[in-house]
Amino acid sequence: MPTIKLTDQFGLDVDVTTGILSSLTKYFSNLPNLSLTNFNLKSIADLTLDNPAVTSVQAGLNFSQPVDIGLGGVTLAVNAGICGELNICVPPASGCKLFDPDPFGADIQVDSTQRYVSIKFSANAGPAASASINTLSFGLTPGVTATIANYRLFDTRPAAPSILDAVEATLADFCIPGGADDLKGLAAGAVITLEGAGTVKFSANANLLTLANPLAIVTLPLPLPALDVSAGGSVTIGATCQVTWDYQLRICKLDGNRVSLGLYRKSGTELTVSAGVSEGVSASISGTELFSTILSTVSKSAAADTGGLKGLGLPDEQIDAIQGAVKAAAQRKLEIALLSTLTASKSQDAAFLFEFDLGALGPDGNNALVAALRGDLSNLTGGSLPAGVIAVRNISTDLAQTGLTWKVNLLGIFNYISTAELIRKGTVLFEPVTGDLVITDSETAKRVSASTVNFGADTDKLRNVLAENLLITAVYRGSQTLVAPPELTCSHSYFELHASTDRKAMQDELAAATSLGLLDAAGRDALLGGQNDFGRTMVYAETSYDGNLAPGLFLNGEDPKSVEELEDAGRAAIQMIVARGAQDAYRLRAATDDDLWARMHREGQTKFGPLFPDLTAQKVGVIVADYTVIVWWANAMNSCGQKIAAMRKLLAVDPNPESAAFVALREDLAVHLAKVTSETHDEFGRPWGLVVMDQVSGSRAAARVHIAGPRFTLARERGTSRSAAG
């Protein structure tokens, strides 16, 4: 049998005979000589593993020459020199963990009577690492450095082996997992780990809850049509998914022929996901069936299959554009769901964990195992499992149950007879950050279209337009002049994608959650911890207002809220989104000091400088911006409240919505709303606008916040607190 020479610097010189199933013989292009560095194995070679003189040790392994590993091409390449380690884990009387700390998965407990001898080496993933013909691909990215380790378990009872025997046995039977045959010879309790960066593929279905967001524009037709919009439903979409990450492949020999295979994300590291819509359980991407299914959940009479769209007179290029927008939206929504599922998992949970009975595997099971070792879990996640395989954990199952909301924003829906008519005369877009759909009239589409994203909306422009339309819709609903089913709500949302998130940016993101009462200060501080870099994050916050809540945004009873009351609400919102001690805490001065606020009113924005003599011109400019948006918003809300009160007063004595007096009031309201929206400040589409509207409603709106990133995922929500209709 082939042998490997093992030496140390103190006279040890032994030839280790490789085992029958040894991967060293099977996959190594040549068997190198190995030497231990900084460790005198010879002096303790004859001691048993349970000898009190033996403590946990670590030594370097020096390779005498480079080694290529793989079949059908170089998968891993080990350089000459110190590229490995020999370790002996000796637990204290109370036991210990095998990996401490363990940045990947559930750690393995080592009892006081157990010992683990391990051999680990580092290698570079070669050009064949992703080749389908190579058994040892592991999903690694070519060029990355990976580590592979074998941990062999020895029990000191009834008799402990000698240290040299344990080391020789661990080296002789070193396993590189390429298939079932490589795993059959593992000793009970043995653990194999492979760590590196790479891509894993799998299949998944996601259940996405659809939600209609019907929003009005400044002018409404007369008479108003009956709205055919439904509150929403759910759509299940199938996809092929990929996740690129720093991960660990961990194989454990459980007993007999049973092994577990788990894939774990490295805690705190970035990952990227992609999802290709393939086929759905209740919908597919072929033709416009997916679009039809979505619309059927939010419209009672949607005609959105290919024939229906052509029946509306849509040209083929417009139908293609709709298909492109819906497919892009679906893929983005699935990616968000996948990212949330991965980052929301507890750090000790495997993303995927399967048990294989090697003796019961048929051809399908063997193929699934080999594919999994190549980084392709499609045969284990796409449907029923092969014989001999059990799923312990599978994030694609969590993905199917995620319940992530897919919003369909219907901008200007009240001006059309049906959703189909809005589609015929408008445009279908998607929001690139959230994947939400936008179906809007042509003029609004021109305002929000992104020139750099096919079928996409400009995130900043869309956010501001949605905020404007929320205000318009709330005004019309508050004035009792908007026909809509009572279960429909209009939503105010804030969404942002940060390529890099520092501590200040994360504090700002979490402020939306704390301001809406979805997270307390202790929870916020726990999430922030001592971190300064939170990586790539997405934040989405939303409040929803039904017809019962809308009047309370503008009125106290039947009277408009005063400018002073509204300004106080605007200042309170500043206090909620700006943390004391933060870099921008100076903004709290005007928000908390009534006398200073009154002086600011008297002096005007151009003379704020002397009121803040210790602040730079830039910081004074920020305070000017806060003041300006609060005063604008308070006056806009008050003036809208006056218009609403006048319309409600007229309807109380003359409920005819087609009377000359009512038509005149409504035309006046439309002119007024056009002026208000033309002056809308960008800040209204940001967290301040979301928070201040919630504040003025008495925090009775339904609210939810979703923050996703590599450090943590936060998902919180609250239901609507019903108030009496005004």
SS3 letters across 337-368? HHHHHHHHCCCCCCCEEEEEECCCCCHHHHHH
Q: Which pLDDT value is given to residue 319?
A: 81
Select the highest-mean-pLDDT range: 344-353, 395-404, 572-581: 572-581
Token couple for 396: 């694609």
CA atoms within 13 A on the CB side of 700: 17
Q: Which pLDDT value is given to residue 308?
A: 59
Mean pLDDT computed over 87-96: 94
pLDDT of 722 over the 60 cut: no
| All structural domains of the chain with their residue ranges | 3-176, 198-405, 482-718
Select the highest-mean-pLDDT range: 125-134, 317-326, 565-574, 659-668: 565-574
Average pLDDT, the chain: 87
pLDDT digits (tens, 9 = 90+) for 501-549: 999 899 989 999 999 999 999 999 999 988 899 988 889 999 999 888 9
pLDDT digits (tens, 9 = 90+) for 142-156: 889 999 999 999 999
Predicted confidence band of residue 91 (pLDDT cuts 50, 70, 90): very high
Query: Backbone phi, then psi, for 219, in 5-degree steps?
Result: -115, 140
d(C-alpha 512, C-alpha 578), whole Å: 10
Predicted confidence band of residue 224 (pLDDT cuts 50, 70, 90): confident
Token couple for 179: 């298939």
Predicted confidence band of residue 422 (pLDDT cuts 50, 70, 90): confident
pLDDT digits (tens, 9 = 90+) for 601-630: 999 999 999 999 999 999 999 999 999 999
pLDDT of 291 over the 90 cut: no
Predicted confidence band of residue 131 (pLDDT cuts 50, 70, 90): low
DSSP string over 27-57: HBSS---EEEES---GGGTTSBTT-TT---E
Q: Which pLDDT value is given to residue 284?
A: 41
d(C-alpha 104, C-alpha 244), whole Å: 15
Whole-structure pTM value: 0.83
Predicted confidence band of residue 285 (pLDDT cuts 50, 70, 90): very low
Mean pLDDT computed over 334-355: 80
d(C-alpha 190, C-alpha 252), whole Å: 6
pLDDT of 133 over the 60 cut: no
Predicted confidence band of residue 219 (pLDDT cuts 50, 70, 90): confident
Predicted confidence band of residue 280 (pLDDT cuts 50, 70, 90): very low
Helix (H, G, I), strand (E, B) or coil at 535: coil
d(C-alpha 645, C-alpha 551), whole Å: 9
Predicted confidence band of residue 632 (pLDDT cuts 50, 70, 90): very high
Letter for the amino acid at 707? I
Pick from 725, 628, 637: nearest CA to 681: 628
Stretch among 21-25, 137-141, 283-287, 289-293 having the lowest mean pLDDT: 283-287
pLDDT of 64 over the 70 cut: yes
pLDDT of 649 over the 70 cut: yes
Supply angle C-alpha 470, 475, 479, rounded to 5. 150
pLDDT of 72 over the 70 cut: no
pLDDT of 134 over the 60 cut: no
Q: Which pLDDT value is given to residue 279?
A: 46
Q: Which pLDDT value is given to residue 287?
A: 42
Helix (H, G, I), strand (E, B) or coil at 548: coil
Mean pLDDT computed over 391-418: 83
Confirm if 154 and 166 have CB atoms less than 8 A apart.
yes
pLDDT of 37 over the 50 cut: yes
Q: Which pLDDT value is given to residue 346?
A: 57
d(C-alpha 6, C-alpha 174), whole Å: 14
Query: Backbone phi, then psi, for 345, in 5-degree steps?
Result: -65, 145
* Helix (H) or strand (E) segment spanning residue 124: strand 114-125
pLDDT of 442 over the 80 cut: yes
CA distances from 494 to 214, 579, 676 (A): 17, 19, 20
Token couple for 2: 């082939």
Confirm if 9 and 43 have CB atoms less than 8 A apart.
no
Query: Backbone phi, then psi, for 351, in 5-degree steps?
Result: -70, -40
pLDDT of 69 over the 90 cut: no
pLDDT of 166 over the 80 cut: yes
- Who's near 212: CB < 8 A, 6+ residues apart? 229, 230, 231, 232, 298, 299, 407, 408, 410, 488
Residue, of 715 and 573, whose pLDDT is higher: 573
pLDDT of 202 over the 50 cut: yes
Q: Which pLDDT value is given to residue 554?
A: 95
Residue, of 487 and 575, whose pLDDT is higher: 575
Token couple for 238: 């199938």
Confirm if 118 and 135 have CB atoms less than 8 A apart.
no
Token couple for 456: 């996409």
User: How many percent of the chain have pLDDT more than 70?
Assistant: 92
Rounded to the nearest 10 degrees, what angle do helices 617-653 and 687-696 cross at?
Answer: 40
